Structure 1
């Protein structure tokens, strides 16, 4: 799949698709057209931190300020969609809208702002879409894959079978209601201290141990043929630090095989920077300072429970999965 920041012309008459992910922390849009048998060319993109889940863990509801930020971002996305003859718009919302008591009312506002329907998807579908987008990074010889997605309001883990003639298949999934936004709101700057960071790691690891007990993932890893894959700002930041990038580059990071020793050193480097160092780093920036170490604590819990030899870094997720699914469905409909 191509870069999600390219802005390219397409042949006249080529079908255009859009995918929007309204998350707990970000609002992201891709507009693309099919390219080749199973890929696409990105025409336009949008990404803005909206902190939709701000205050949700304490009040159970979306705040007026958060809804206003999201609405403004959705209006900007709607303007992008209006500039192109987009035939299919797939827009989804995730954990914040699943949990909020005022979620249904907000969704009506959100749809008006975007000018298109938005579905609130369950956690399992979220994992399925991430799996679909990351499947092209699997390699021959992989029997299983463990895919993690550290979000704003939750962390999804997908356990995937990859050794059959069919497409990769989801064996099991878990959604832990701890993400970078929920941890920031609950624990504040705790992850900047050694003790606070370790407490979060042990709490999250305990949630994952239950999932491992059902599926025996550690045992499968010891047998070999299991690929650990990560799709989130946390894992792409770790890769950017490990590669010592002067600025973030999707082309350098997406699909990179990050050795665990390199990931460990990158994690320690991030923990040693402090807030000012994180804000100044070209792969992070001031808007993401509060979220980096909470995400790293969740990653460290994954690292503790499932000690793989490395991580396949995926700078792709829900939007790419939505696009691939929509394009595949259209091809099937044409053949029918």
Structure 2
């Protein structure tokens, strides 16, 4: 039994997972998500704003306190799309170091592998496609995870990170909310060929598409009008393309305050959820999927499993070794 913590600082959300692990599997966990909008303005300016850095640091101070209270022996801290796009990333990394963290800006393919590893434990032996659509990028990976007493088998066929995310689409294409029809059309025309190229590169499309991230979990909450978010209800819930299209049709005529008032939508996610829904619809359309399965597991669960492997002196299954800190 070992207690670990994984922190992921994304384009829209900063997230913490505190987990108790046994033999590489999570047996108990706590999650904390704060919408910090680290990627605000990054697509246009290529730098973190001082306000965005401070929002993330405020969240991380809370995360450090929670990690210590939980008794985690090691912490892994990762940064993804927004941090890959900026020229002033050191301004944030240095402050994170002052908290005792050892942050790593991970490549998109590593992000995809970690997410797949976190999700695939629920689908042992099944060839699946896993998509993680965030604020700045969408990671897609196809593969199979087959655990056995002789050692886990982990086979990936196509791991890609595309610079398509809800924050990037909103800032690049929408002048305001609700967006004009031609702005939505332009966003679709930009993202669709990139998704088409991904699916064409596969010899055979998997039957099952799994999606993670705040967009799809929020869409489930919206579709089912969850006034109080219930992760147990959302986890492994199917989301059909018609449900996604209906959500888009409802939101595309609304302003931010109207979207924020919808059941299941966090107020801070309201400015980007429409773009996120359009991204997911185009991903599904391009791949020929009429439904997907939503997973509450993600990069954080993959990080925790990879941390266990590294601490045991094993070669991590995904081929990436995390840098760990002790608080």
TM-score range, shorter chain: 0.7 to 0.9
Equivalence map 1:307-322=2 (5 Å): 307-322=288-303
Q: 2:239 aligns with which of 252, 258, 267?
A: 258
Equivalence map 1:62-81=2 (5 Å): 62-81=48-67
Determine the structure 1 residue equivalent to 2:263.
Answer: 282
TM-score (norm 1): 0.83
2:86 equivalent to 1:100: yes
161-170 or 231-240: bigger deviation: 161-170
- Considering Cα pairs closer than 8 Å and 6+ residues apart, tell me whether 1 or 2 has the greater RCO: 2
Alpha-carbon distance in 1 for matches of 2:211, 2:154 = 16
Alpha-carbon distance in 1 for matches of 2:54, 2:255 = 31
Determine the structure 2 residue equivalent to 1:23.
Answer: 10
Give the secondary-structure state (helix, strand or coil) at the position aligned to 1:137: coil
Q: 2:32 aligns with which of 46, 61, 66?
A: 46
248-257 or 27-36: bigger deviation: 27-36
Alpha-carbon distance in 1 for matches of 2:154, 2:179 = 38
> Aligned pair in 2 of structure 1 residues 274, 59: CA closer, same or farther (>3 Å)?
closer
Which structure carries more helix by proportion?
A: 1
* Misfit runs of 4+, over 6 Å: none
Q: Tell me by how many angstroms 1:329 deviates.
A: 4.2
Equivalence map 1:108-187=2 (5 Å): 108-113=94-99, 115-138=100-123, 142=126, 144-161=127-144, 167-187=153-173
> Aligned pair in 2 of structure 1 residues 156, 37: CA closer, same or farther (>3 Å)?
closer
Alpha-carbon distance in 2 for matches of 1:55, 1:88 = 33
Alpha-carbon distance in 1 for matches of 2:77, 2:24 = 23
51-60 or 271-280: bigger deviation: 271-280
1:198–1:297 CA contact under 8 A, matched in 2:
no
Q: Tell me by how many angstroms 1:332 deviates.
A: 6.5
Equivalence map 1:7-22=2 (5 Å): 14-22=1-9
Alpha-carbon distance in 1 for matches of 2:60, 2:81 = 17
Give the secondary-structure state (helix, strand or coil) at the position aligned to 1:192: coil
In structure 1, runs of 5+ residues without a counterpart are 1-13
2:283 equivalent to 1:302: yes
Alpha-carbon distance in 2 for matches of 1:95, 1:77 = 21
In structure 2, runs of 5+ residues without a counterpart are 315-327
1:135–1:168 CA contact under 8 A, matched in 2:
no
Q: Tell me by how many angstroms 1:159 deviates.
A: 2.1
Give the secondary-structure state (helix, strand or coil) at the position aligned to 2:292: strand
1:98–1:122 CA contact under 8 A, matched in 2:
yes
